[in-house]
């Protein structure tokens, strides 16, 4: 597990670029060196699935675990009902049913990224609804609320911005207290003395540190990691690559997930390898060098895509997706592919079915496979020279496949532009 020269976890996080803010680093370093430390990170069910950006703190927990510490993964069943205030404005609350359903799904995802065993570093999963739910308002206001100063809460960046803009409900304003109380609760239950999270969580985490100090007269640590951005510094998932990249294979197919990372820029790929993988410095340096010398091989992108697909979807999926990508992508002679290879590849990409008897045109094919959103869009694609059937460009909107075009008598490989592929099964 640990390298021959066991590097301090904080040093590793630092060279990986995973350090944003922290409380007293020297004290944290000391405590981490003293033996297994218990740390936690929370995830609110604000969507049906985690997305790639969530992997940063989640893998962060895992990194600490590998370094000999005990991670607690917190599912935000309670905090998810309230909503962390954001600058864009008041959230519309989701229904309790929705939150509960999302919570279950997300919890299932969370559990896959840390190791459970009986050792002192075995992971723990908790749900803050377990202690927040039973608490009465009066208890909460007396025991927790009393320790918070409205004055300092008002000076928070997000709150100030919101007050200048559209204001903020008391509900969201209270979020800080809930998360702070979580930290206190975990400190009491599990001796948790470190909370990590994305840098947007900084003030929430500090709230807990403060609360623990006031109530328990004990120090606790806060440590945040940068929010992932793409090469232009945009927040991950928000606008990069057309929407979020979800962990749930039903929302983002493993093939799409793989292709997303395969397509990032050189700069982003080398950066992401540090943030999202466990490769050590030597391996990373070798990949960097290779990428610089022979950029067309896209070594960094390939490694990134493979490692992340394996991490999220497993070895088997990665093999299938890689095979599909190789089989379908670009210049290979599709006619030489085995039928089984082709059909396996079709499992990974969007597909459609048509009957030759219906005499479908290229436009019909693009629409039926979902490669184009509408007939107009499909027509546009053809007009723009972006439509391919079996790697041959099709420029006539009225083009129809004939029996001689079929691969193995029953398949077509459709492509829009350079990177969007779909399979067509042709029936009689």
Partner RNA sequence: GCCAGGUUGCCCGAGUGGCCAAAGGGAGCUGACUGUAAAUCAGCCGCGAAAGCUUCGGAGGUUCAAAUCCUUCACCUGGCACCA
Residues 166-185 touching RNA, rule: CB under 7 A, are 166-169
Q: Identify the DSSP state of 405.
A: G
- Stretch (H or E) spanning 351: strand 351-355
Residue from 240, 309, 310, 320 in contact with RNA (CB under 7 A): 240
DSSP code, position 230: -
406 binds RNA (CB under 7 A): no
395 binds RNA (CB under 7 A): no
* Residue 58: φ, ψ to 5°: -65, -45
Q: Judged by CB under 7 A, does residue 360 bind RNA?
A: no
| C-alpha–C-alpha distance, residues 296 and 342, integer Å | 26
421 forms bridges with which residues in the sheet?
A: 415
Question: In angstroms, rounded to a whole number, what is the distance separating the alpha carbons of residues 143 and 180?
Answer: 12
The answer to whether the beta carbons of residues 68 and 37 sit under 8 Å apart is no
| Closer residue to RNA, CB minimum distance, 211 or 321 | 321
- Count of residues engaged in binding RNA, rule: CB under 7 A: 44
* Least spacing, CB of residue 304 vs RNA, in Å: 11
Which H or E run includes 424?
Answer: strand 420-427
When binding is defined by CB under 7 A, the residue of 98, 239, 347, 395 that contacts RNA is 239
DSSP 3-state of 195: strand
To RNA, the closest distance from the beta carbon of 287 in angstroms equals 12
Site string for RNA, 48-87 (x = CB under 7 A): ----------------------------------------
* Residue selected from 15, 395, 418, 427 as contacting RNA according to rule CB under 7 A: 418
- Within residues 105-164, the interface with RNA by CB under 7 A covers none
49's tokens? 């699935």
Q: 156 or 379, CB closer to RNA?
A: 379
In sequence order, what are the residues at sequence separation of 6 or more whose Cβ sits closer than 8 angstroms to the Cβ of residue 139? none
- Which listed residue (296, 357, 402, 404) binds RNA by CB under 7 A? 296
Does 385 sit near RNA (CB under 7 A)?
Answer: yes
The piece of 108-116, 123-131, 165-173, 191-199 that touches RNA (CB under 7 A) is: 165-173
380 binds RNA (CB under 7 A): yes
- Cα 423 to Cα 341: distance, rounded to the nearest angstrom: 12
Which residue among 161, 329, 343, 356 contacts RNA (CB under 7 A)? 329
Site for RNA (CB under 7 A): which residue of 110, 416, 423, 426?
A: 416
Q: Which of residues 298-317 bind RNA (CB under 7 A)?
A: 298, 301
**What are the distances in angstroms from CA 64 to CA 30, 280, 327?**
14, 15, 39
In the complex, minimum distance from the CB of residue 67 to RNA, in angstroms, rounded to a whole number: 33
List of long-range contacts for 350-355, beta carbons under 8 Å, 24+ apart:
350/422, 350/423, 351/422, 351/423, 351/424, 351/425, 352/422, 352/423, 352/424, 352/425, 353/424, 353/425, 353/426, 353/427, 354/424, 354/425, 354/426, 354/427, 355/426, 355/427, 355/428
Among 143, 200, 266, 405, binds RNA (CB under 7 A): 266
Stretch that binds RNA, among 2-10, 138-146, 179-187, 240-248 (CB under 7 A): 240-248
Taking the complex as a whole, the smallest distance from the CB of residue 146 to RNA amounts, in Å, to 24
Interface residues with RNA (CB under 7 A) are 88-90, 92, 166-169, 231-232, 239-242, 259, 262-266, 291, 295-296, 298, 301, 325, 329-330, 373-377, 379-381, 384-386, 416-420
């Amino acid at each position: 597990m640990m390298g021959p020269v066991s590097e301090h976890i904080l040093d590793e996080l630092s060279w990986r670029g995973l350090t944003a803010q922290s409380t007293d680093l020297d004290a944290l370093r000391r405590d981490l060196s003293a033996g297994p430390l218990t740390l936690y990170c929370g995830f609110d069910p604000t969507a049906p699935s985690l997305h790639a950006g969530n992997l940063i703190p989640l893998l962060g927990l895992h990194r600490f675990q590998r370094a000999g510490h005990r991670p607690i993964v917190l599912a935000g069943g309670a905090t998810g009902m309230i909503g962390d205030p954001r600058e864009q404005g008041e959230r519309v609350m989701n229904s309790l049913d929705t939150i509960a359903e999302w919570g279950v799904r997300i919890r299932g995802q969370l559990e896959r990224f840390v190791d459970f065993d009986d050792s002192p570093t075995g992971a723990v999963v908790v749900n803050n609804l377990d202690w927040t739910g039973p608490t009465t308002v009066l208890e909460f206001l007396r025991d927790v609320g009393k320790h918070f100063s409205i004055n300092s809460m008002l000076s928070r960046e997000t709150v100030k911005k919101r007050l200048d803009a559209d204001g903020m409900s008391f509900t969201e304003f209270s979020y800080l207290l809930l998360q702070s109380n979580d930290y206190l609760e975990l400190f009491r239950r599990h001796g948790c003395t470190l909370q990590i999270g994305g840098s947007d969580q900084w003030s929430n985490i500090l709230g807990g540190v403060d609360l623990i100090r006031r109530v328990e007269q004990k120090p606790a640590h806060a440590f945040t990691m940068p929010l992932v951005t793409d090469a232009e510094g945009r927040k991950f998932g928000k606008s990069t690559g057309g929407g979020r990249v979800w962990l749930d294979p039903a929302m983002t197919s493993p093939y799409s997930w793989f292709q997303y990372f395969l397509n990032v820029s050189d700069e982003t790929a080398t950066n992401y390898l540090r943030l999202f993988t466990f490769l050590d410095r030597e391996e990373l340096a070798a990949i960097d060098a290779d990428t610089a010398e022979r950029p067309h091989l896209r070594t960094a992108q390939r490694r990134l895509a493979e490692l992340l697909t394996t991490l999220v979807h497993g070895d088997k999926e990665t093999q299938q997706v890689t095979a599909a990508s190789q089989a379908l992508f670009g210049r290979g002679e599709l006619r030489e592919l085995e039928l089984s290879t082709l059909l396996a590849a079709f499992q990974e990409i969007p597909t459609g079915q048509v009957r030759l008897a219906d005499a479908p045109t290229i436009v019909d094919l693009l629409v039926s496979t979902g490669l184009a959103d509408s007939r107009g869009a499909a027509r546009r694609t053809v007009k723009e020279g972006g439509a391919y059937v079996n790697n041959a460009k099709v420029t006539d909107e009225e083009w129809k496949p004939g029996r001689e075009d079929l691969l193995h008598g029953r398949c077509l490989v459709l492509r829009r532009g350079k990177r969007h592929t779909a399979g067509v099964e042709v029936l009689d």
